[in-house]
Amino acid sequence: MPFIVLTVFFSVIHSWLAVYLARILQKVIDIALIGNMASFQKMLVLSIFYIVLLSFISFLYSLSSKKLVCLVTKGLRQRTFYGIFQRNAKAFHDVNTADYLSATTNDIKLIEENFLNPLLLVLQYLVMFIMTLKLLFEISPTIMLCLIGCIVVMILVPSILGNALQRRQETFSHQNSSFTQKLKDYFLGYEVIKSYQMEEKIKKEFEHENKRFTDTRFHVEQLLSLNEGVSEILAFLTQFSGMFIGAYLIIKGEITAGTLVALIQLSATFVSPVMIILQNIPKISGITPVIKRIDALIEYQEDLFGDKILSSFEDKINMEDVTFSYKENQPVLNGLNLSIHKNKKYAIVGKSGCGKSTLVKLLTGYYSDYQGKISYDDNNLMELKIQELNRMISTIHQSVYMFDESVRENICLYETYTEEELADALDKSGVTQFLGSLTDGISTLVGENGKNLSGGQKQRIAVARALIRKKPILILDEGTSAVDMQNAYDIEKSLLEVNDLTLITITHNMNYDILSLYDEILYMENGKVEEYGQIDELLSKKEKFYQFYHLKK
């Protein structure tokens, strides 16, 4: 706020001083023509002081306006970033991450260049225009009316170009994010591109994308140049009209030479604002689609779930007759029932694609458009605040994201834990076993997305990350798939030994020794839990799980 006030204040003062320069010129010429040396010397001193003051105010205006733009873009970036993280998991994944990157970088740059800077210019020159009108009216109302007539023609140009420019800006913004999306794909797909010799194809595709990107940008620039060119010609014409009418009035003896010079100066401060305003208005109106995009990210409101806070987990999670489909009429879960009791350990098994991960996503509030009922201790999931529910649940996925930090930071995630808590998590997760092989032990930097670690090491760090938080529910979605059999057994065994932990493991690993440690195995098929119980019970039934188990073996 203080910078808005300062910028507006300096803008007004600067414009006022720039316009009143005409009065100084008028006086200097008139004094020179009269031949009064004393007044001339006084005017010289005054003029020098005036110019110094004008330059100083111009500097202050430039400084405060730049600071204002920096603050606004910083705030916008921050609010966009917060808005993105406000999204629930589904809403977040519905949008490509390249769009988020593009919004927080390219789009905000576009807003700076095509909205904030032009808006400040328009404000500054609008003040200049109003001051000039006032002064022109004082000096010669006739010339003022003539100049206003010329301006009406100038105003028609941007109004014709504005809509076309808006459409082209929108296309450019979309092209910008699709280009970023492609680049992201190329860099993330580096390994695949190299091992399948796709470089030539990718280069061609890149050339095509790069051309499309440059062409759409040029489309926008074309219209901006047309707008600038036409406004410039009209501006010269207007200035010349002012000068010739002034000269005509001198011949008729109606004004002095000083007044003519003042009029010439005023026609400049009359035309420049109109030109600047007209050149910038299409830019400002053209940026509307980009502002709307950013606005949609900032203003995201999650209203699908409720606000009720689940402060502890005491009894059980229930799923009653739950049906869910990604595509209409193709249910992935179909009338599913199950109960997860506090501190019990569950293994969810079933063929690939039978809906195990989907079930876990529903449990953690990823999707709200399911039928049936999911409840935590008799609280309907739809009434709960998902952000708070996630304080109760840790989920470890098959692919683990690692920040480019040390092993310790990747486990603690910038929170403080005691050395005992850390040691306990390291032991139970099996991280201790490989810490010695790392150059700096727990302080070793893991590299971008943990590139210095193996898949299994990353998974063990993820387990430590979850364990140290001591949340009452832990979901392991194939969270030990990248570690060898012995290590998977050790990790799962230590998790199974944690008494005050409800464990839900999705696994493809049909190891009898591990599976027999679970309280219940939930076998899924046809979008339902078809069989459940301890491994020996299920095997002795010799039904669906039995067949699945032996097929896997």
Ligand X SMILES: Nc1ncnc2c1ncn2[C@@H]1O[C@H](COP(=O)(O)OP(=O)(O)OP(=O)(O)O)[C@@H](O)[C@H]1O
* Residues at the interface with ligand X (CB under 6 A): 326, 332, 352-358
Shortest Cβ 352–ligand X spacing (Å):
3
The Cα–Cα gap between 400 and 408 comes to: 15
Closest contact distance (angstroms) between CB of 437 and ligand X is: 30
Angle ∠(57,22,252) on CA atoms, nearest 5:
175
- In whole angstroms, the minimum distance from the beta carbon of 235 to ligand X comes to 56
Give the nearest distance from C-beta 319 to ligand X in angstroms: 14
Burial of 191 (C-beta count, 10 Å sphere; 0-12/13-18/19+): exposed
Q: How far apart are CA 78 and CA 384, in angstroms?
A: 27
Please state the closest distance from residue 398 (CB atom) to ligand X, in A.
Answer: 8
Which structure tokens are listed for 436?
A: 């010695």
Which CB atom, from 334 or from 432, has the smaller least distance to ligand X?
A: 334
Shorter beta-carbon distance to ligand X: residue 342 or 397: 397
Give the tokens for residue 338: 């199950």
List Cβ neighbours of 259 (8 Å cut-off, separation of 6 or more). Answer: 26, 30, 139, 140, 246
Nearer to ligand X, 94 or 378 (CB): 94
- Alpha carbon distance 309, 379 (integer Å): 10
Nearer to ligand X, 89 or 193 (CB): 89
- Would you say 332 or 438 has its CB closer to ligand X? 332
Least Å distance, CB 95 to ligand X, is: 13
CB of 336 to ligand X, least distance (A): 12
Return the number of other C-beta atoms located less than 10 Å from residue 509's C-beta. 17
CA atoms within 13 A on the CB side of 508: 13
CA 218 to chain centre: 25
The minimum distance between CB 356 and ligand X, in angstroms, equals 4
Residue closer to ligand X (CB basis): 227 or 358? 358
Using an 8 Å Cβ cutoff, are 302 and 87 in contact? yes
Tokens of 129: 């225009």
User: 141 in the Ramachandran plot: left (φ > 0), alpha (ψ -120 to 50) or beta?
Assistant: alpha
Task: Compare residues 386 and 524 and give the one whose CB is closer to ligand X.
Answer: 524
DSSP for 233-263, written as a single string: HHHHHHHHHHHHHHHHHHHTTSS-HHHHHHH
Q: Please, are residues 482 and 455 in contact by the beta-carbon 8 Å criterion?
A: yes
What is the three-class DSSP state of 88?
A: coil
Token output for 322:
């739950």
Helix 117-139 × helix 2-34 angle, to 10°: 30
Least distance to ligand X, CB of residue 182, Å: 21
Separation CA 380–CA 420 (nearest Å): 37
Cβ at position 361, least distance to ligand X in Å: 7
Whichever of 216 and 358 has its CB closer to ligand X, that residue is: 358
Give me the residue label for tokens 């440690």. Answer: 517
DSSP string, 382-451: GGB-HHHHTTTEEEE-SS----SSBHHHHHHTT----HHHHHHHHHHHT-HHHHTTSTTGGG-B--GGGT
Smallest gap, in angstroms, from Cβ of residue 355 to ligand X? 4
DSSP 519: S
What is the Cα–Cα distance from 535 to 546, expressed in whole angstroms?
A: 9
Residue 362 beta carbon to ligand X: minimum distance, rounded to whole angstroms: 10
Instruction: Show the tokens assigned to 483.
Output: 């570690």
Residue 530 Cβ vs ligand X, minimum distance, rounded to whole Å: 13
- In angstroms, rounded to a whole number, what is the distance separating the alpha carbons of residues 524 and 545? 9
From residue 329, alpha-carbon distances to 356, 497, 524 in Å are 19, 42, 19
In the complex with ligand X, which residue's Cβ is closer, 197 or 352?
352
Q: Which residue, 143 or 524, has its beta carbon nearer to ligand X?
A: 524
Nearer to ligand X, 142 or 547 (CB): 547
Closer by beta carbon to ligand X, 117 or else 334? 334
Residue type, 92: F
**Given the complex with ligand X, which of 31 and 354 has the nearer CB atom?**
354
